[in-house]
Amino acid sequence: MLGLAVIFALKFFLGASDVLANVLGYAAGTALSFMANKIFTFRHRRDYGGAAMRFLLVQGGAYALNLLTVLMLVHDGVDGYLAQALGIIPFSLCGFLGAKYYAFAGAER
């Protein structure tokens, strides 16, 4: 939600393009997402540096899927705000599954 708030604010208040707003919004949410997922969602207590690198790889793939979705929707005439909101779906699915099965795999519970 932090990322989407940044995206909407950049678009609405600064007139940022969909791509620029998207990049900055997802960058803003990545650090918060890493810590929240590491500590609360997966309770991962080891391998901080390795988990961070794996998480960034997962986020990069999820982000590429998100941006592709947003650009395709905007190209097809979907409103930029709606396209950004819909882009969260593939990003979240890819990000969660990648975090669970790759970035934080084997987390202590």
Query: How much is the pLDDT for 79?
Result: 97
The pTM assigned to this predicted structure is 0.83
Angle at 93 between CA 33 and CA 15, to 5 degrees: 65
Query: How much is the pLDDT for 45?
Result: 85
How many domains, the chain?
A: 1
In a domain, 108, yes or no: no
Q: Which of these, 49, 25, 71, 107, lies nearest to 33 by C-alpha position?
A: 25
In a domain, 30, yes or no: yes
Q: Give 71-75 contacts, CB < 8 A, sequence gap 24+.
A: 71/18, 71/19, 74/18
Domain that holds residue 32: 2-103
Residues with pLDDT less than 70, the chain: 107-109
In a domain, 109, yes or no: no
